[in-house]
Amino acid sequence: MDIDYLIVGAGTAGCVLASRLSEDSARQVVLLEAGPEGDECAGDAEYDWGLRATVTAGRVDGLARGKVVGGSARVNGMGAVRAPARDYHAWAALGLPAWGWDRVLESYRRIETDLEYGDQPHHGGSGPVPITRRPREQWIAPVSALVEAVQAAGHRYCPGMNAPDASGIGPYPHNRRGTARMPTSLTHLAPARSRQNLTVRADLPVERVVVRDGRATGVLAGGEFIAAREVILCAGTPLSAVLLLRSGIGPAGDLREAGVAVVADLPGVGRNLYDQPGAVIPALPVHGAVPEGAPMTEVIARLAAIPGHQRDDGFYLCPFAGPPPGGTETMITIMVGDLNPASRGTITLTGPSPGDPPRIDLGYYTAPGDLGRMRAAYRHAWSIAQHEAYARIVDRFYGVSDELVASDESLNGLLHAMTFSRLALLGGAAMGPSDDASAVVGEDCRVRGVDGLRGVDLSIVPVVLRAPTALDAIMIGEHAATLITA
Ligand SMILES: Cc1cc2nc3c(=O)[nH]c(=O)nc-3n(C[C@H](O)[C@H](O)[C@H](O)COP(=O)(O)OP(=O)(O)OC[C@H]3O[C@@H](n4cnc5c(N)ncnc54)[C@H](O)[C@@H]3O)c2cc1C
């Protein structure tokens, strides 16, 4: 069989791309996935890559990434919030107009059926991904209390967080049908599986892309060479960058240091990695405030005008209810995140073989101002948590106090010890115009300096996306398909 498109990674973007490219029966499409097909009954931990990353100042923590058909959206929180339009304006302003808001909006609309809004100028009514929100009358007490407290702090209530440039606090859009998760392995891949021109192979980790005379000719997977006219990496951040590096495509110095022969010297591979640092305000609720089996998250906030900072819609708040990971006691937590950090991280190899773990440094708080932004966000969230509506449902806060939050030194200590990844990783193989030496892919997702190779997932994102990112990954699969088949 002559393969036209060999897609590496049956994740959030990869399943969309495989489905869209195989719509034309003249194209032979093969989709390879390192993880298994997956079983709905299995725990998420079974489908994790077990990656580790440096979080802050040398502290290393686990970095969850889905290793299963469906990818990270198979194990995620089902949040489906678009990045603001202005993030895509910024993408276009880099000299990449095909990724501007007006263009990607059509792709966002095509992927979704918004069960509350339906077919509207900014929402889709007939796409495969159902988007829904829990009605206000079903919110549990801590959620209603937080919304009241956030509004009392001067932020607005926003019923439609997927409207362009939505800001404030409002119902959290989810990609689910009832309580059933709807990853793209179900919405896009499952209906396409019966096509004769689409082959899906799970449990087959790709070791590297094979490049001959400047052209990708296929991949090595499980010791087998699989030839294709074009290889498309959809392994996500950070693993698409890892695959490029292992294939000899990356900064020449880094590659030599890791013992990998240089195929193409691309300085931007493994750079421009960014993610949203998160921290929590944990509390024990008063008895009965969180009914058994209550949903974990029902609202989300993207807030501007935090005291001490310019207006940038950069702060995220989200209430969670339920036992913390590994715990049994029900807690309520307010998650605080910086959606717009300036810090950037790196991905490098520790050795040439697939068994050598990548070295991932998230670089949190390394850019001037980021730690101060997070302190301001945390203090703002703490003041919201003191509002009488929220305080009414709190029995006691856990490990946080007025004194701790008031002192820069103590709060820095808490943030350095507590900060975790919000798992909204972007970049590592970022897009850029032809005069940008750090660009890894061009507007058409083609990898610079290597023919027959593209990247289509969140690793190509060259700007901050102030969103939890899963919906953006689905959109990227859809949008890239329109560009590839145009
Ligand atoms: C635990 C968790 C919770 C999250 N919660 C939310 C949330 O509530 N809302 C939200 O918006 N976002 C959330 N996210 C983030 C979001 O799910 C991801 O950003 C998004 O799904 C990534 O899409 P992707 O297509 O870029 O990569 P992925 O979906 O990760 O897909 C990459 C695929 O490539 C495969 N792969 C990698 N390397 C290879 C290889 N060498 N060979 C073959 N296959 C390979 C992987 O196994 C995977 O299936 C969460 C993420 C995690 C991990």
* pLDDT digit string, tens, across residues 270-287: 999 999 999 999 999 998
The conformational region for residue 265 under phi > 0 = left, psi -120 to 50 = alpha, else beta, is beta
Q: Is the CB of 235 under 6 A from ligand 1?
A: yes
Q: Out of 184-193, 299-308, 316-325, 365-374, which region has the weakest mean confidence (pLDDT)? A: 316-325
- Please state the atom number of ligand 1 nearest to the C-alpha of residue 67: 47
Mean pLDDT of 118-136: 96
pLDDT in tens, 194-234: 999 999 999 999 999 999 999 999 999 999 999 999 999 99
pLDDT tens digits, one per residue of 237-272:
999 999 999 999 999 999 999 999 999 999 999 999
Query: β-strands 176-177, 180-181: how paired?
Result: antiparallel
Q: Does residue 288 register a pLDDT over 90?
A: no
Backbone dihedral region for residue 133 (phi beyond 0: left; psi -120 to 50: alpha; all else: beta):
beta
Separation between Cα atoms, residue 34 and residue 73, nearest integer Å: 15
H or E element in which residue 9 lies: none
How many angstroms is it from 12 CA to the middle of ligand 1? Answer: 6
**Res 289 pLDDT > 90:** no
pLDDT tens for 134-179 read 999 999 999 999 999 999 999 999 999 999 989 999 999 999 999 8
- The reported pLDDT for the residue numbered 304 is 85
Give the pLDDT of residue 311: 61
Residue ranges of E strands in 125-205:
129-131, 168-171, 176-177, 180-181, 198-201
Structure confidence at residue 308 as a pLDDT band (50, 70, 90): low
Predicted confidence (pLDDT) at residue 478 exceeds the cutoff of 70: yes
pLDDT of residue 183: 96
pLDDT level of residue 43 (50, 70, 90 thresholds): low
- pLDDT at residue 46 is higher than 90: no
Nearest residue by C-alpha to atom 8 in ligand 1:
77
* Main-chain dihedrals φ then ψ at residue 177, nearest 5 degrees: -115, 110
* 365's tokens: 């708080």
9: left (phi over 0), alpha (psi -120 to 50) or beta: left
* pLDDT of 318: 82
Name the residue among 11, 123, 128, 22 with its Cα closest to residue 69. 11
pLDDT at 464 (0 to 100)? 95
Q: Hey, whose CA ends up nearest to atom 2 of ligand 1?
A: 76
For ligand 1, whether the C-beta of 78 sits within 6 Å is yes
Lookup: tokens for 41: 């009954």
Whether 331 has a pLDDT exceeding 90, the answer reads: no
Q: For the residues 52-71, what does the mean pLDDT come to? A: 95
The alpha carbon of 398 and the centre of ligand 1 are apart by a number of angstroms equal to 31
Ligand 1 centroid, distance to 68 Cα (angstroms): 9
pTM of the model: 0.97
Ligand 1 pocket, 11 CB below 6 A?
Answer: yes
- Quote the CA–CA distance of 343 and 276 in Å, as a whole number: 10
Which pairs from 214-221 meet CB under 8 Å and 24+ separation?
214/264, 214/449, 214/450, 214/451, 215/450, 215/451, 215/452, 216/447, 216/450, 216/451, 216/452, 216/453, 217/452, 218/3, 218/6, 219/6, 219/8, 219/32, 221/32
Percent of the chain residues topping a pLDDT of 90: 86
* DSSP collapsed to 3 states, 209-242: EEEECCEEEEEEECCEEEECCEEEECCCCCHHHH
| Whether the CB of 32 sits within 6 Å of ligand 1 | yes
Average predicted confidence (pLDDT) for the chain: 94
Ligand 1 pocket, residue 461 CB under 6 Å: no
User: Is the C-alpha dihedral spanning 417, 78, 68, 247 positive or negative?
Assistant: negative
Q: What pLDDT score does 7 carry?
A: 99
pLDDT of residue 290: 85
Share of the chain above pLDDT 70, in %: 98
